[in-house]
Amino acid sequence: MGTQRAIFAAGCFWGVEANFRKKEGVVSTRVGYTGGPFSNPTYKKVCSHKTGHAEAVEVTFDPSKVSYDDLLEIFWSIHDPTTLNRQGPDIGDQYRSAIFYLNEAQREKAESFKAKLEASKRFKNPIVTQIVSASDFWQAEEYHQQYVEKRKNSLTNL
């Protein structure tokens, strides 16, 4: 069947990536920028709030081991989808909650999951997560890739 891709934004991409990497069936991840109209954004430009990009994680997964629904479970559980342009101490449009769907099946599953969450009243405030068609995904600078894992390794080697 091959691999599939999914793209999620849920705040600072470092922690988001680390959470998805833990899941069996996730083949690879890469952090980057998406959702804005400009080509080749950099971290500095995205942080200027002038590009419209979100910090996001592209997840490549083996659907025979992990489903898109499983990835949605992770996405909804690792952040607060009711805060607009903010996750914890991180504030700005680049930290927005968004699902960037790559096909109609992903859109339908994301919309359905969001509707079930809203109906469940699990969250006190309205869900502000965007569900939008994926645009170009621009890989972030190398030092951002697998940042949490690199940081853990550097701390344990002291």
Residues with a known catalytic role: 12
28: tokens are 């690879």
What residue ranges in the chain does DSSP mark as E strands? 4-10, 26-34, 54-61, 86-87, 90-91, 97-101, 130-133, 138-139
Cα 133 to the chain's mean position, in Å? Answer: 14
Could you give the dihedral angle defined by the CA atoms of residues 39, 108, 84 and 8, in that order, rounded to the nearest 10 degrees? -50
- Residue 149 CB partners (closer than 8 Å, separation 6+): 18, 21
Contact 39, 4 (CB under 8 A): no
